[in-house]
Chains A and B, each alone.
Chain A
């Protein structure tokens, strides 16, 4: 019998309180998180328009990350938390 030590680690356990997914988008405020890649703004703005026209979302506002390779910075997260109900993040290339 040989014992081997496991080389893997999981992420630190923490409870994340997710906001429940909305049943419908009517009246919801949409946050669009744009990653700066070419045309990603156009793609997300179009999605925002569709969510308003076809699903009755109240508003769609675009935020821009500092660059494509970093997570959304804290100011974005704080503002979105206060002013939006739903977030759409996406990339363009």
Chain B
């Protein structure tokens, strides 16, 4: 006998529009949702092999317990297939991790989205896009997994826009912001392996993040050339002073150019760290660092991130085109760290 579901039940007349009913309850992010019926919710729970009352995460300062049942209901509404549930569960575990620090990115005027980078075999099995149109539409898994997590934040954790989600301008990634690393074509160590997992494990890494910034270099055929453009683009970006995590997404052409020079992710990180420092004088002149310009400010520098390891390098994006992207994290790394969780099946 399956455990009883505890959620309040709403009885809706057959003549009523169920999708419209969900809008009226305030359950939606603004797009139509799939009505959460018991059979659909149970299929989600079965796919994750979780009892409904299993606690997936606890948001301490909001005293909110996130149960598997609530994650399943929101995953149904987001349009997930049941087999996506293990990814959603791992991502919800991650947002509840104190290192991610829900209070900041969940609430801040800085308008963080939850960037999710999926690694390991599950990314291929679920067809999570790691190629063309990486941050764009077209892939159900990318769009619904991230949406499910945001609906949990909205409906369970209370991150309602204008109330406890106070993003000043927000960003479109707050609807869904999921990518996979292109491990099949990448010449580099996958992100989850760098972060302590085995290649055959699946994992999701979450970063409190601003929107993606695309950059262009069609002229260089060296690693240094491509990364010089990237560093110049990154140098003044995001909060600049906050020293958050950064994610660098290198797509097909750039990935090959950089790899052909023999550069690994560690060397990429170090180069970007070394070439994204700003002088104190520049930061003061442009209203980012407080105080008057003092002797020495023209040569004193502030790194964009605290350490090279705060730049996560991911191989993803289409094969054609001399474009790649970087993503400034929200706030500071001290307020919110990238968190990686195993996707358990």
Contacts and interface: CB of A to CB of B under 8 A. Distances in A.
Interface of A: 1-9, 11-12, 14, 38, 66-71
Contacts, number: 91
Given A6-B73, A7-B151, A69 B331 contact: yes
B37 A8 contact: no
A11 B62 contact: yes
Contacts of A38: 290
Contact of B37 (A2, A66, A67, A71): A2
Contact of B61 (A2, A5, A71): A71
Contact of B156 (A1, A7, A66): A7
A21 to B, nearest CB: 23
B12 interface: yes
Nearest to A8: B155
B300 interface: no
A69 B10 contact: no
Contact of B18 (A4, A6, A12): A4
Interface centre among A1, A2, A5, A38 (most CB of B within 10 A): A5
B269 interface: no
Contacts of A68: 335
A69 B155 contact: no
Contact of A4 (B9, B61, B65, B69): B9
A69 B108 contact: yes
A67 B67 CA distance: 30
A69 B103 contact: yes
B70 interface: yes
A56 to B, nearest CB: 34
Interface of B: 5, 7-14, 18, 21-22, 25, 27, 35-38, 41, 61-67, 69-70, 73-74, 77, 101, 103-104, 108, 151, 155-156, 158, 290, 331-332, 334-336
A52 to B, nearest CB: 28
A67 B25 CA distance: 36
A6 B76 CA distance: 12
28 contacts: A2-B11, A2-B14, A2-B18, A3-B12, A3-B37, A4-B10, A4-B12, A4-B21, A5-B8, A5-B10, A5-B36, A5-B73, A6-B8, A6-B9, A7-B74, A8-B156, A9-B67, A9-B155, A9-B156, A11-B62, A14-B63, A38-B290, A67-B332, A67-B335, A69-B101, A69-B103, A69-B335, A70-B103
Contacts of B22: 4
Contacts of B151: 7
Nearest to A16: B63
Nearest to B27: A7
Contacts of A6: 7-10, 25, 73
Contacts of A2: 11-12, 14, 18, 35, 37
A69 B156 CA distance: 21
A5 B64 contact: no
Contacts of B27: 7-8
Nearest to B290: A38
B11 A3 contact: yes
A1 B11 CA distance: 6
Contacts of B69: 5
Given A2-B11, A67-B334, 13 more contacts: A1-B11, A2-B35, A4-B37, A5-B8, A5-B10, A5-B41, A6-B8, A7-B7, A11-B64, A12-B63, A66-B334, A69-B108, A69-B332
Best-buried of B7, B18, B41 by chain A (most CB within 10 Å) = B7
A14 B335 CA distance: 27
Nearest to A11: B63
